[in-house]
Amino acid sequence: MKNLRTHGKSTIVWVLMGLMVLGLGGFGVTSFSGGSTSIGSVGDTTITADDYARALRNQMNAYQQQTGQPMSMAQAQAMGLPQAVQSQLVTAAALEEQARRIGVAVGDEKVRQTILEAPAFRGPTGSFDRAAYAEVLRRENLSEAEFEREVRTDEARLLIQRAVAGGVSAPEAAVETTAKWILERRDVSWRELTADMLPAPVAEPDEETLKAWHSANADRFTAPELRKITYVWLTPEILAPEVQLDEAALRAAYDANIDEYQRPERRLVSRLVFPSAEEAEAAKAQIDAGTAPFESFVIQRGLQPEDAELGEVAQADLGAAGEAVFGLEQPGVVGPLQTDLGPALFSVHAILDPVNIPFEEAQQDLRAEAALDRAARTIEDRMAEYEDLLAGGATLEQVAEETELQLGTIEWSAGATPEEGSIAGYQAFRDRAAEATEADFPELASLDDGGVFALRLDEIVPPTLRPFEEVRDEVEADWRRAETHRQLLALAAEQRLTTEAAEGQPAPEWTEVKDITRDGWIENAPADAVARAFAMAEPGEIEIVDADNRVILLRLDSVDQADLAGEDAQRITDAVGDRLEQSLQSDLFDYYARAVQREAGISLDQSAINAINAQVQ
């Protein structure tokens, strides 16, 4: 059994119940079974290697869930994720160390209440379920005594956190000032200057002007680095037409994916179990009367709607309740029906028709899919043969002659849009093409569709300024755009002075816009126009907006101060107050945590951290 001094972590409680996620020091740390090795300590409180490894994996998994992309340790380190996790663990350990030093502890009743209220331990009825409690602890390899000690430690940390940051409120003056700034509205007028407004057409440039423009803006007319590459490749799509399939193989593919072609009627169903039939009948009566929806009873039980969802089910999946549920001709609620868990109401959200596609109808699609699958397996089986040829010194040309791999050449640059069907459309090819050197030997690599390729870098053509004669038309067009824009800015400056000098109503060609907000927009105008409108100080001021290759004259007509008495304004004011309050609490807690860390002393073992970083993937 571990001494409480050795737990520099946030335990399973933080994961299951979110106790510490308060916007102040919600460290997002998880640890279920501390190891004997440490990565450091704060005072006498140790941060175990297990704590660090689990916390780091959780953060990487969270990133992957948010982005849908796998994260490597190299990417995590580039983002500073390991350092952030270490900082969170150090803060957690500092709180635990401080609780131990000053004797902060919680009683048995608080521990009991915390466990009883944990959503992870609720059963089908929405209340604490001892079986669920025991199962979670068994899965995480914790005894009840160990877990309860962890809860006690976490609650002590939380007491300190609340004591430090609790009761902090944002100054009323700051809240009002910020709310007024957010809610302020302005009226503006704007007009766009275009080439047809210039007093004279842009003059024709001579050759010397264009050549000078070509030289002065060489980056616009420079071809990017070009890599001349020879490659061989083979994909399932390339090989599929040569694959021979008999009916037996197609029948096997049909049977292997029978759920796609033969599926009974299914329904999207939710189920809510009640303690008694009487309570279920009372709820059903309110649902039938239209006074309360099914979801309201789910929420009343302390559950979220998704907690009651059974998903897409067939009649057989529901046992004895199946006949009644599938007896509904339209979505609705049926019950109460007796289930193994007790009387329940079933809500049918959607009715999914049965699927019945015979083998004969599916044959064409099956042939295409089976051919691709067979081709992919053929390529996988022959990879060793291809690799042996390359390792034996065969050139790409020889490999193409002796195998099914196809030979090709490409002039590739990193910024070019690949042609449809080109090997450059594969990320794996682009990565290798960018890294290859002329000294590299071709090596076999995989494509994400089951294909393979190998490449040879034949030549690198460095970025080259394209000759003036080759790009003369592009140079002239670019010069005309720039010259037109320059003259429009000069015209805008002139009209701005003239308009400011002439008092009175704006000219008819101006467009008036009322009540714009800081997060709003001006239709058909550049996005920068709104920011410029709120940067002007006094009505009557005119600014030139030069954005998106457009020239705009923007005039401030009026400033409407915010009225904080309205209901909407009150919501904004409350939100501002909450945000400022959280910010102040966060800063205060951060200062306190840093002070505790300095007083107790921090020790980190970088070699242990590096070893864990090398293992976590």
Q: Which amino acid is at 401?
A: E
Sign of dihedral through CA atoms 524, 525, 528, 533? Answer: negative
The helix/strand count (H/E) of the chain reads as 22, 19
Q: What pLDDT is stored for residue 432 in this prediction?
A: 93
Q: What pLDDT is stored for residue 12 in this prediction?
A: 42
Contact 228, 458 (CB under 8 A): yes
Is residue 396's pLDDT more than 70? yes
Q: According to the per-residue pLDDT averaged within each range, which of 4-18, 371-385, 398-412 is highest?
A: 398-412
Give the Cβ contact number of residue 531 at 10 Å. Answer: 12
Enter the pTM of the model: 0.51
**Band (574; pLDDT cuts 50, 70, 90):** confident
Residue 292, φ and ψ in degrees, nearest 5 = -155, 135
Of 378, 515, 380, residue with least CA distance to 447: 380
**Band (446; pLDDT cuts 50, 70, 90):** very high
Of 608, 567, 559, residue with least CA distance to 187: 559
Cα–Cα distance for residue pair 44/461, rounded to 1 Å: 62
Q: What pLDDT is stored for residue 165 in this prediction?
A: 78
Contact 580, 174 (CB under 8 A): yes
pLDDT digits (tens, 9 = 90+) for 225-277: 999 999 999 998 888 877 666 666 667 777 777 767 778 888 888 988 888 88
Q: What pLDDT is stored for residue 100 in this prediction?
A: 82
Contact 166, 129 (CB under 8 A): no
Q: What pLDDT is stored for residue 550 in this prediction?
A: 94
* Alpha-helical runs (H) found in 103-246: 108-116, 130-139, 144-165, 172-183, 207-216, 236-239
**Angle of helix 81-102 versus helix 144-165 axis, rounded to 10:** 90
Cα–Cα distance for residue pair 408/269, rounded to 1 Å: 54
HEC secondary structure over 214-274: HHHCHHHHEECCEEEEEEEEECHHHHHHHCCCCHHHHHHHHHHCHHHHEECCEEEEEEEEC
Q: What pLDDT is stored for residue 363 in this prediction?
A: 65
Greatest Cα pair distance, the chain, in angstroms, is: 95
pLDDT digits (tens, 9 = 90+) for 337-377: 888 788 889 998 888 888 777 776 666 666 667 777 778 88
Cα–Cα distance for residue pair 558/189, rounded to 1 Å: 10
Average pLDDT over the chain, rounded to an integer: 83
Return the higher-pLDDT residue of 328 and 26.
328
For the chain, report the end-to-end CA distance as a whole number of angstroms. Answer: 30
Whether a cis peptide bond, with omega within 30° of 0, leads into 336 is: yes
Give the Cβ contact number of residue 10 at 10 Å. Answer: 31
**Band (92; pLDDT cuts 50, 70, 90):** confident
Is residue 13's pLDDT more than 60? no
User: Where is average pLDDT lowest: 249-263, 391-405, 511-525?
Assistant: 249-263
Cα–Cα distance for residue pair 424/411, rounded to 1 Å: 10
Q: What pLDDT is stored for residue 252 in this prediction?
A: 73
Is residue 509's pLDDT more than 50? yes
Cα–Cα distance for residue pair 585/167, rounded to 1 Å: 9
Is residue 29's pLDDT more than 90? no
Contact 229, 279 (CB under 8 A): no
Q: What pLDDT is stored for residue 388 in this prediction?
A: 92
Cα–Cα distance for residue pair 431/410, rounded to 1 Å: 15
Q: H or E stretch including 547?
A: strand 542-547
User: If you average pLDDT over residues 534-560, what whole number do you get?
Assistant: 93
Q: What pLDDT is stored for residue 423 in this prediction?
A: 92
Residue with the two structure tokens 């929405």: 126
The half-sphere exposure of 408 on its side-chain side, counting CA atoms within 13 A, is: 15
pLDDT digits (tens, 9 = 90+) for 179-198: 889 888 999 999 999 999 99
User: Where is average pLDDT lowest: 184-188, 253-257, 540-544, 552-556?
Assistant: 253-257
Distant-in-sequence, close-in-space partners of 248: CB < 8 Å, separation ≥ 6: none
Cα–Cα distance for residue pair 539/559, rounded to 1 Å: 7
